[in-house]
């Protein structure tokens, strides 16, 4: 059984669907952690503590999501604005990112076993879209499935309620905060309560960048047994 929530914000025309998150991808490009140095397991990624984290599967999300978002990212005094879309179902994750003139920057599809990426020549080789997917999972996958996976890599993820929604914090075993994610959430009552993530603020304290994500459209179907 699934519950469904759909939101479309009016007066915003988007001719293509795209999704979000430039986080670890941009950082790895700047800090010269080259994608050719990734582990042989294509689902494993390097983390700030030099451990590896294995990407979760599409099934772990526990539902379906189709969202278009506008992202403003800031790093090293420079700001970039992009349009992005994320589509998730039990079989795959599909990610695409466009620049403001609607030129495709890169896309990614993950079926849980194989990750296929395409990129524009404008994107440096060192920017690996799999790290963008890692940030997506850190922000949107259920806490209950993220926590044991991250603990195996020496990281801890906690979540607390706030006056505007909720907040997640990623720390190492020494208690040092590496990433903070703050959410502005609008709740909609019904037979099964639904939540719209209106705005997401993502800050990485290790590589000193942050971004501000605004939702343009949101279509969520959450499995009734999904973990929150």
Distances (CA, A) of 44 to 34, 115, 150, 164, 165: 14, 11, 12, 34, 31
Count of beta carbons in the 10 Å neighbourhood of residue 180: 16
Q: What number of other Cβ atoms are within 10 A of residue 206's Cβ? A: 17
Give domain limits for the chain: 2-6+15-223
Return d(Cα 123, Cα 175) in angstroms, integer.
Answer: 35
Assess contact for 106 and 129: CB atoms under 8 A.
Answer: yes
Encode pLDDT of 63-119 as tens digits. 999 999 998 888 888 888 899 889 999 999 999 998 888 888 889 999 998 999 888
The confidence score (pLDDT) of residue 139 equals: 93
pTM of the model: 0.78
Residue range 145-186, pLDDT digits in tens: 999 999 988 899 999 999 999 999 999 888 999 999 999 998
Sign of the four-CA dihedral 110, 227, 24, 216:
positive
Pick the CATH number of 2-6+15-223 from 2.50.20, 2.70.98, 2.60.120, 1.10.1740: 2.50.20
């Amino acid at each position: 059984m699934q519950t469904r929530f759909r939101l479309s914000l009016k007066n915003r025309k988007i001719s293509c669907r795209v999704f979000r998150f430039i986080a670890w991808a941009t950082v790895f490009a700047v800090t010269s952690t080259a994608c050719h140095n990734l582990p042989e397991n294509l689902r494993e990624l390097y983390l700030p503590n030099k451990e590896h984290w294995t990407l979760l599967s599409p099934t772990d999300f526990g539902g379906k999501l189709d969202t278009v978002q506008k992202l403003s990212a800031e790093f090293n005094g420079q700001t970039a604005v992009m349009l992005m879309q994320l589509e998730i179902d039990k079989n795959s994750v599909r990610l695409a990112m466009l620049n403001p003139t609607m030129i495709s920057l890169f896309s990614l599809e993950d079926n849980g076993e194989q990750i296929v990426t395409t990129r524009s020549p404008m994107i440096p080789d060192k920017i690996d879209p799999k790290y963008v997917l890692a940030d997506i999972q850190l922000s949107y996958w259920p806490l209950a499935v993220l926590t044991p996976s991250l603990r195996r890599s020496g990281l801890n993820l906690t979540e607390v309620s706030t006056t505007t929604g909720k907040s997640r914090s990623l720390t190492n075993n020494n208690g040092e905060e590496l990433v903070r994610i703050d959410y502005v959430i609008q709740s909609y009552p019904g037979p099964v309560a639904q939540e719209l993530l209106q705005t997401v603020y993502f800050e990485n304290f290790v590589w000193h960048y942050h971004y501000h994500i605004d939702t343009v459209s949101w279509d969520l179907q959450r499995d009734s047994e999904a973990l929150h």
